[in-house]
Structure 1
Amino acid sequence: MAQRRLWEVDDGLWERIEPLLPVVERRFRNPGRKRLDDRKALCGILFVLYTGMPWEFLPQELGYGSGMTCWRRLRDWNEAGVWQRLHETLLAELNSAGLIDWSRAAVDGSHVRALKGGPKPAPVQ
């Protein structure tokens, strides 16, 4: 049996992701080329992110489409809020299963710059 690669999305994860993806209807007139399957595009995105290679060097032989197609899909999904909703969905599932240790969570990790600084130390005499 072949080992699953890290960038290949298994069925369980895909069942969580697929409903979050925006539905893109194919045009009736002048439909153009058939759109790349969303799961293949996601695998292409994960492959590029895993390997760190430039988008334009994504190998066509893998069947994940072109690098620019995957990049555009990543951009579109990001603008549609897919990753935020996926994050919230997975957190809710983990929380309901009691698998998150909230005592180790940071509520607010933002940093605020002190423009005027703190109190000045007394001069040494």
Structure 2
Amino acid sequence: MGRRRYELTDFEWWIIEPLLPNKPRGVPRVDDRKVLNGIYWRLRTGSPWAEIPERYGPATTCYNRFVRWRKLGVWDRIFDAITAAYDGDIQMIDSSSIRVHQHGANAKKGARTPPPETLLTPDAWGARGAG
């Protein structure tokens, strides 16, 4: 089967592959491209990590790489490289996948807004226990 609708294109993979950490020794790693597509699938759908389809490799592998690469700054390098490759003509937010938590949907009118330091940061992107 060919590339699925939202998976990395060959051009994007060509840009991203050299930016990924390399671990030449030990147990062979699950294919990075497959794992990246699994991570993107999870972030796009908002599903729990455990529901990542098997075609993307083990869910724990996807989660662990997401967290590890966040700590190493790999995601910042990937987004910067892809943005530069598309000459800034790329948007990375899809409002159809942004949801309000059930407790935040019924906020009282005129309620105070949270202080700026409590706003979401890239560290909070779907990783449990991030921080």
Relative to the length of structure 1, the TM-score reads: 0.61
Q: 1:107 is matched with which residue?
A: none
> How much has 1:91 moved relative to structure 2?
4.1
Q: 2:74 is matched with which residue?
A: 82
Give the secondary structure class of the aligned counterpart of 2:8: coil
Structure 1 stretches of 4+ moved >2 Å? 1-4, 86-93
**Matched residues in 1 for 2:3 and 2:74: separation?**
28
> How much has 1:87 moved relative to structure 2?
2.8
Q: Which runs of no fewer than 5 residues in structure 1 stay unpaired?
A: 101-110, 113-125
> How much has 1:90 moved relative to structure 2?
3.5
**Number of matched pairs:** 91
* Aligned AA (1:15): W
RMSD of aligned residue pairs (Cα, Å): 2.5
1:16-31 equivalent positions in 2, closer than 5 A: 16-27=15-26, 31=27
**Matched residues in 2 for 1:2 and 1:22: separation?**
26
**Matched residues in 1 for 2:3 and 2:65: separation?**
27
1:1-125 equivalent positions in 2, closer than 5 A: 4-6=4-6, 8-27=7-26, 31=27, 34-60=28-54, 63-93=55-85, 94=87
Relative to the length of structure 2, the TM-score reads: 0.59
- The percent identity for this pair of structures is 43
Q: Which runs of no fewer than 5 residues in structure 2 stay unpaired?
A: 91-115, 118-131
